[in-house]
Amino acid sequence: MASCLKLKPLALALAATASLTALAQTAPKQLPSITVTGKAEPLLDVENADVTGFGAPLAKTPQSVSVLTADLLTLSAAQSLSNVIKLDASLADSYNTTGYIESLSVRGFLLDQSSNFSRNGLATSNYGYVALENMERIEVLKGVAGLQSGVSAPGGLVNYVTKVPLKEDLTSATLAIDGNGGSKVHLDTSRVLGGVGLRLNLVDEQLHSQFDHANGARQLVSLALATALTPDTSVSADLEYQRKSQPSVPGLGLLDTNGDGVGDTLPTPINPRLNLNNQSWSLPFQATSTSAQVVISHRFSADWSARLAASTQASRINDRIAFPDGCSSAPTYVYPGLCGNGDVDVYDYRSEGEQRTLSSWDAHLDGKFKALGLGQAARFGLSGRSIHVDLPPMQAYNLVGTTNIYAPIALPADPSLTVLNTNSRERVIEGYATLTSDLSERVQSFVGLRVSRLSRSSELSDGSQAVSYEQTVNTPWAGLAWSPSVTTMVYASWGQGVELEVVPNRPMDFANYGQALPALKSEQTEVGVKWQAYPRLLFTAAAFSIDKPYADDVPGVGAGALPERVAGGKTARHRGFELAASGRVGTALSLQASLMALDARYTQAVDPALVGQRVTNVPRFKSSLFADYKIAALPGLALNALTTFESGKTATADGSVALPSAWQLDTGLSYTQHIAGKSTLWRVNIENLTNRNYWREAPTTDWGGIYLFPATPRTVRASVTVAY
């Protein structure tokens, strides 16, 4: 019976394909102009990115943008957002582990899961799993993105662009396996039915992890539709459903070797399969998400067009884990960290039935015109989003005992619901405008402004400790570009971002509990060069400086006085330099290369000891090089490799503990042949070819915990794709 159930999604996929094929045989194959036809893979080159907000080609946009295309994700065998991060040196992990929601930092700043991500240009929540099988590309705007996303963290903006119907009928079926015993079936089919384009993606995956007790399953269904209502009006829709269930793997911590109650030493190499969430009562982390999006585009004339888009997203999460945190078995309680002998306390954490919904909309008008004798391109828009977080009334977070990272032991469960949860609401209404002016044949100016009105409220699940506030903020941006030649552009830009914060409504912890703090404005300056070295190879270089203020706590005066949280109590300055090259060199070699040198330090703080210290979990230097090479002597055969290197990540605020420099090599081989008239692609990829064992990241959470996550051991993946 179990095997029949596992085959059921595949049978449904094949049946769906057969139905679409039968309908397509009699339907006229006319697809509206809003859809695109892919170029021959692999390319890695991209001409435009929606995330910029200006509509200009990437080579002529005064911004740092990275575009990770579907062919690049396929070539590198990316399985998760953490795999994608390795493809660009400016991106980094932040508390990314097997089975849990993944996060992303850009230029050393952690992105906000609810305000630094978009899907096809509409605000989306990243608090869910990313279905790479349904991605046409992932666009990353690096640096302050206040103009594009309003109230958001200053690291950047990620735009997920999903697959759309193709002009020609195409179906590909992929069967993939890995060395841990995992398997995946993926069907991707595009059909044209009576002028309506359809793109269907189906995935059924059995997840087998290298960690103990961390196997799971995932299913995906996505459907994209596109049609032209009139020659000037088109409509498209994107629907997606995904379900995933897998135990999450918690991080470890620093060892307290001197007995002072604070972890200060990296653990020696441990069992790479260790999962401290391996108790007999451990339950999987489960997430189910659905999203729907509709876009209407209309062209008024050759110079003016409009776009109206709306989306909704809902997720339901069961968050459960045997969570290791701190250590009480030593004479002095250890936090953050573990006892020197590897002991760590374990808590039974359960929060069942968390519901998160996000609705967003955007309407904008694009136009080109003449003013003051200059060519102008403008965008005027309104947008909004609404976020609801409804958690269960109570959660469990109960100490159940102490285990050891070198010799784990079984512990009893305690699922008692003892802690109130917090529900929240957020609503944002924004107006924005951008203007690009041709000051001369070689000089352009770019200016923009977004005005955001934000309302937030939260309360405990019993209705107590309610707090709410409203603020209006402006986020301007300006840039100037000079093109000394047709293939080269030099630019300078300045912009602001903004974040809002309210003091936690805890009367026992803060003197100004529940107070809405003034807006925290980050600021960025950037200069850069872009060079279109070949028609399909773009080189970029950028130097930047970003100042980000944080709220911090000022100690109270007198015995027993509570601290006061103030806006701008500390400030971090991230100064760096980036180099990147993306595209094709000739017909055989494709490249995606980048490096970043970054100095991220606190320039102001309530605690003077923090001033001058590096921001934790941020590399001082990182590089990434992906190359794919077609073997001319054997048509159809190609080799690829991805090598990454990073150094300078600190784990503690005082910089006394740093992760050793680390490098990793991933390799791949692909071979395309024709079998029975169908294109068949065979792939083998090896992640971490040399099986290096190192600490990949050491994030500090907002509650003060410091966690260590190891690199993925050597993993072999193989797949076969048949296209017809």
* pLDDT range class, residue 593, cuts 50, 70, 90: very high
Q: In 3D, which of 471, 437, 439, 442 has the Cα closest to residue 454? A: 471
Question: Which tokens is 511 given?
Answer: 């003197």
Concatenated DSSP letters of 335-401: -SSEETTSEEEEEEEEEEEEEEEEEEEEEEEEEEEEETTEEEEEEEEEEEEEEEEE--SEEEEEEEE
Q: What is the pTM of this model?
A: 0.93
Question: Which tokens is 336 given?
Answer: 């953050």
In the block, residue with structure tokens 């020696």:
268
Alpha helices in 156-228 (DSSP H): none
What kind and span of H or E run contains 70?
helix 70-75
Question: Which tokens is 364 given?
Answer: 């904008």
Q: In 3D, which of 534, 541, 663 has the Cα closest to residue 589? A: 534
Residue 496 pLDDT greater than 90, yes or no: yes
pLDDT digit string, tens, across residues 407-452: 999 999 999 999 999 999 999 999 999 999 999 999 999 999 999 9
Residue 5 pLDDT greater than 50, yes or no: no
Residue 577 pLDDT greater than 60, yes or no: yes
Residue 78 pLDDT greater than 50, yes or no: yes
Q: What CA–CA distance (Å, rounded) separates 121 from 159?
A: 6
Residue 15: helix, strand or coil by DSSP?
A: helix
At a CB cut-off of 8 Å and minimum separation 6, what does 421 contact?
Answer: 351, 391, 392, 393, 394, 395, 460, 461
Report DSSP state, residue 85: H
End-to-end distance of the chain based on CA atoms, in angstroms? 32
At a CB cut-off of 8 Å and minimum separation 6, what does 198 contact?
Answer: 20, 165, 190, 191, 192, 223, 224, 225
Q: What CA–CA distance (Å, rounded) separates 186 from 168?
A: 20
Q: What CA–CA distance (Å, rounded) separates 398 from 386?
A: 33
Q: In 3D, which of 477, 488, 639 has the Cα closest to residue 143? A: 477
How many of the other CB atoms lie within 10 Å of CB of 633? Answer: 5
Mean pLDDT (whole number) for 536-555: 95
The chain-wide mean pLDDT, for the chain, equals 92
Q: What CA–CA distance (Å, rounded) separates 362 from 384?
A: 7
Mean pLDDT (whole number) for 613-633: 96
In the block, residue with structure tokens 């976020």:
387
At a CB cut-off of 8 Å and minimum separation 6, what does 410 contact?
Answer: 279, 280
Residue 116 pLDDT greater than 90, yes or no: yes
**Amino acid 171: pLDDT:** 95
pLDDT digit string, tens, across residues 8-27: 444 444 444 444 444 344 34
State the CATH number of the domain containing residue 451.
Answer: 2.40.170.20
Residue 565: helix, strand or coil by DSSP?
A: strand
Residue 268 pLDDT greater than 90, yes or no: no
Q: In 3D, which of 595, 703, 614 has the Cα closest to residue 655? A: 614
Q: What CA–CA distance (Å, rounded) separates 127 from 121?
A: 17
At a CB cut-off of 8 Å and minimum separation 6, what does 598 contact?
Answer: 107, 108, 574, 575, 576, 618, 619, 620, 621, 622
Question: Which tokens is 436 given?
Answer: 């690009």
**Amino acid 210: pLDDT:** 92
Question: Which tokens is 127 given?
Answer: 């608090």
**Amino acid 507: pLDDT:** 86
At a CB cut-off of 8 Å and minimum separation 6, what does 520 contact?
Answer: 498, 499, 500, 501, 548, 549, 550, 551, 567, 568
CB 198 within 8 A of CB 260: no
Q: What CA–CA distance (Å, rounded) separates 334 from 98?
A: 26
In the block, residue with structure tokens 């992640």:
687
**Amino acid 586: pLDDT:** 85
* pLDDT range class, residue 508, cuts 50, 70, 90: confident
DSSP lists the bridge partners of residue 365 as 306, 380
**Amino acid 86: pLDDT:** 96
How many degrees, rounded to 5, is the angle at CA 315 between CA 703 and CA 294? 125
Strand positions, DSSP E, 519-563: 520-534, 537-554
Which residue would you say has higher pLDDT here, 3 or 265?
265
Cα separation values, 699 from 110, 503, 615, 660, Å? 10, 23, 10, 15
pLDDT digit string, tens, across residues 658-689: 999 999 999 999 999 998 888 999 999 999 99
Total domains present in the chain: 1
* pLDDT range class, residue 43, cuts 50, 70, 90: low
Burial of residue 436 (number of CB atoms within 10 Å: 0-12, 13-18, 19+): buried
Report DSSP state, residue 613: P
Question: Which tokens is 380 given?
Answer: 């005027």
pLDDT digit string, tens, across residues 207-246: 999 999 999 999 999 999 999 999 999 999 999 999 999 9
Q: What CA–CA distance (Å, rounded) separates 569 from 611?
A: 12
Mean pLDDT (whole number) for 333-338: 96
- Residue 286 C-alpha from the chain's centroid: 19
Residue 269 pLDDT greater than 80, yes or no: no
Domain encompassing residue 46: 2-723
Q: What CA–CA distance (Å, rounded) separates 209 from 273?
A: 9
Question: Which tokens is 619 given?
Answer: 């590399």
Mean pLDDT (whole number) for 463-488: 95
DSSP lists the bridge partners of residue 526 as 493, 544
Residue 241: helix, strand or coil by DSSP?
A: strand
Residue 202 pLDDT greater than 50, yes or no: yes
